[in-house]
Structure 1
């Protein structure tokens, strides 16, 4: 698939690099091709192409948003998605590693407000970037789970296929309002790994009888 990435920092690059190695075509969507993050990404993977943001969206089959959450409204308000899937990989994090929207609404629902013509799916947020570089856990006979949320079933099916390519088992948690709880799972992971010293190379699994 042809995938566009708005944001190519730690999270965006880890996902893009993994997927490029699985055969997907990666477009870095940035209006400044000389930005430091773009140059760093191209140094690490010369197979990426770079296009202006709207041009990249128009060309891509799926768009990933992996930017700092506070930048999203400004970035999205002038863009047109024409019904394309927009994978929200961002998290609203506030002071003291709290929910940046006071748990009143999910960040993904705000993304949907700012990009009303996109099919927003929450994914790739419940872990740090380390687990997007390599999702393989060879000591176990189960795949780590990637929980997603979204209002459009077809869009979630597309993201599920991408999850499979990344090495994850997909768990569809329901409508986009469920993203609020996935964002709380992010805060749990971040507090464990970034604040309290737990190593970052761990993920959740989904087991059922």
Structure 2
């Protein structure tokens, strides 16, 4: 599958690298080929392609958005989507690791507003990049869960397949408004790890009876 990545920092690279290893074609979508993050990514994985953002979007089956949230509005309003899946890996974070939209609406719903022709799916946000780079926990007989949310069932099915590809168990939490709660789950993880010093190598799991 051809996957475009808008944003190739810690999160974007960890996901792109794992998916490329599983046989997917990765294209970095950027207007600045010489940026530090792009050059670092290409050095670590020279199999990545690189194209302008709109061209990468036009040719992709799935687009991953892994940018700082504050950059998303102007970026997305400048792009044209043709009903591609847009996987939202971003989180609106405000002062003191609070919800950047005051918990009134999810960042994913705003992204859907700014890219109305895209099929937005929230995924790959409830952990830090360390767990996207390596989802294996060999001491347990369950896979870590990756929760997702979105309004389009087919888009979620495709995203769930990508989630499984890199070692997570997908859990569909429902419509896109559920992304607000996933963003709070991210804030829980971030506060524990980045603020309070918990080690990053822990995940959530789904246990069913």
TM-score range, shorter chain: over 0.9
Alignment-derived partner of residue 30 in structure 1: 30
In the TM superposition, what is the alpha-carbon distance from 1:145 to its structure 2 partner?
0.3
In the TM superposition, what is the alpha-carbon distance from 1:196 to its structure 2 partner?
0.5
Counterparts of residues 88-127 of structure 1 (less than 5 Å): 88-127=88-127
Q: Whole-Å Cα distance in 1 between the matches of residues 138 and 36 of structure 2?
A: 35
In the TM superposition, what is the alpha-carbon distance from 1:81 to its structure 2 partner?
1.2
C-alpha RMSD over aligned residues: 0.4
Structure 2 residue 15 is matched with structure 1 residue 15? yes
* 4+ residue segments displaced more than 2 Å: none
Three-state SS of the structure 2 residue aligned to 1:81 is coil
Counterparts of residues 120-199 of structure 1 (less than 5 Å): 120-199=120-199
Q: Whole-Å Cα distance in 1 between the matches of residues 197 and 141 of structure 2?
A: 27
Q: Whole-Å Cα distance in 1 between the matches of residues 3 and 123 of structure 2?
A: 15
Q: Whole-Å Cα distance in 1 between the matches of residues 46 and 98 of structure 2?
A: 37
- When the two structures are superposed, what TM-score results if normalisation uses the length of structure 1? 0.99
- When the two structures are superposed, what TM-score results if normalisation uses the length of structure 2? 0.99
* Count of residue correspondences: 209
Q: Whole-Å Cα distance in 1 between the matches of residues 190 and 34 of structure 2?
A: 31
Structure 2 residue 82 is matched with structure 1 residue 82? yes
| Unaligned segments of structure 1, at least 5 residues | none
